[in-house]
């Protein structure tokens, strides 16, 4: 028996109109400001949903269900889905899916950057989304900085634009290596599972995409993640500069960690950043406000 047969509303979902019809009926013209590039290929959606390591009775937290393609695929797998959608037109278009899901879909109209995902989805939920690319990085950083750790989410299976996906999984020396790579490696195991051409989406974006899966792990070191976040913002804010310049003011910690201050941030591994951060504690003075992005 599949998960869906055990607990899901699979047969009612099969009676729903095709996604293209949902979009047409709701006048859901893609809004670029909301990062709307829809996935309509049900085989592809089923493949992505199958990547989520679901057990019977698990909840999935989905950001931006749009017309509901991924949502349907997750429900068919027997998941309970909590979905947050900002676009009122999409929320209206999803009403038949909410009905067909028979209590398995909790749809919230709201901004995923502002809602309390943990309170909505509950402990042990999985995150799955074809993310709106304009807010994908701040959402991921928020999930990576979750406290306490292990976090409320058990896995995250997320579509990013390919360039961001490569930054998440990059290693020292890779051109894409940066703050996001260090934060991801500090607390998770992150892998690219699928790469998708732009033509897989409607409308096709200008960039390629990739699905990244992040699985929470014990942190690389017993150091507050906020320290690592601040340190990496500072170090990668001037990534081409030597540490003696970019981490000016923290050179005692760099030296105490046994790191050569003539190295550049882009060559340091996550354990080395953690070692520097560890020597900043428990000074209590704190780092000055961080600069730079991910």
| Number of residues in contact with ligand SAM under rule CB under 6 A | 23
Range 234-248 burial, b when 16+ CB lie within 10 A, else e: bbbebeeeebeebbe
Alpha helices in 94-238 (DSSP H): 95-100, 117-121, 136-144, 162-169, 179-187, 225-237
- Cα(156)–Cα(216) distance, rounded to whole angstroms? 9
Give the nearer residue to ligand SAM in terms of CB position, either 132 or 178.
Answer: 132
211 is a site residue for ligand SAM (CB under 6 A): no
Residues 8, 13, 38, 279: which binds ligand SAM (CB under 6 A)? Answer: 38
- Cα(12)–Cα(102) distance, rounded to whole angstroms? 9
113 is a site residue for ligand SAM (CB under 6 A): yes
Residue 144 beta carbon to ligand SAM: minimum distance, rounded to whole angstroms: 18
Site string for ligand SAM, 134-173 (x = CB under 6 A): -x--------------------------------------
Distances (CA, A) of 217 to 48, 91, 102, 116: 22, 35, 34, 22
260 is a site residue for ligand SAM (CB under 6 A): no
Residue 167 beta carbon to ligand SAM: minimum distance, rounded to whole angstroms: 18
Assign 223 to helix, strand or coil: coil
- Cα(52)–Cα(62) distance, rounded to whole angstroms? 12
Assign 213 to helix, strand or coil: strand
Angle at 119 between CA 64 and CA 26, to 5 degrees: 25
Residues 22, 49, 52, 63: which binds ligand SAM (CB under 6 A)? Answer: 63
87 is a site residue for ligand SAM (CB under 6 A): yes
Residue 288 beta carbon to ligand SAM: minimum distance, rounded to whole angstroms: 30
Instruction: Report which DSSP code applies to 146.
Output: -
69 is a site residue for ligand SAM (CB under 6 A): yes
Residues 36, 104, 155, 161: which binds ligand SAM (CB under 6 A)? Answer: 36
What does the binding site for ligand SAM look like in residue numbers (CB under 6 A)? 34-39, 63-66, 69-70, 84-87, 90, 111-113, 130, 132, 135
């Amino acid at each position: 028996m599949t998960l869906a047969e055990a607990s899901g509303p699979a047969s009612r979902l099969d009676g729903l109109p095709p996604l293209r019809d949902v979009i047409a009926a709701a006048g859901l013209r893609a809004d670029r400001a909301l990062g709307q590039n829809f996935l309509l290929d049900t085989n592809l959606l089923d493949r992505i949903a199958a990547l989520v390591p679901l057990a019977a009775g698990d909840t999935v937290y989905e950001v931006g269900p749009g017309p509901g393609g991924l949502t349907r695929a997750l429900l068919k797998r027997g998941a309970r889905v909590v979905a947050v959608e900002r676009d009122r037109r999409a929320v209206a278009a999803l009403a038949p899916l909410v009905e067909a899901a028979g209590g398995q879909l909790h749809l919230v109209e709201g901004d995923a950057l502002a809602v309390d995902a943990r309170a909505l989805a509950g402990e042990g939920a999985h995150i799955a989304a074809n993310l709106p690319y304009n807010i994908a990085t701040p959402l991921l950083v928020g999930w990576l900085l979750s406290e306490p750790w292990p976090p409320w989410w058990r896995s995250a299976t997320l579509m990013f634009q390919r360039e961001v996906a490569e930054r998440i999984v990059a290693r020292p020396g890779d051109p894409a290596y940066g703050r996001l790579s260090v934060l991801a490696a500090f607390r998770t195991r992150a892998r690219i599972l699928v790469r998708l051409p732009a033509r897989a989406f409607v409308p096709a974006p200008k960039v390629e995409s990739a699905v990244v899966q992040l699985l929470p792990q014990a942190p690389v070191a017993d150091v507050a993640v906020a320290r690592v976040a601040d340190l990496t913002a500072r170090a990668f804010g001037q990534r081409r500069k030597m540490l003696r310049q970019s981490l000016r003011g923290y050179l005692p910690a760099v030296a105490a960690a046994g790191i050569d201050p003539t190295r550049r941030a882009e060559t340091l591994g996550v354990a080395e950043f953690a070692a520097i951060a560890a020597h900043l504690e428990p000074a209590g003075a704190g780092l000055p406000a961080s600069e730079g992005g991910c």
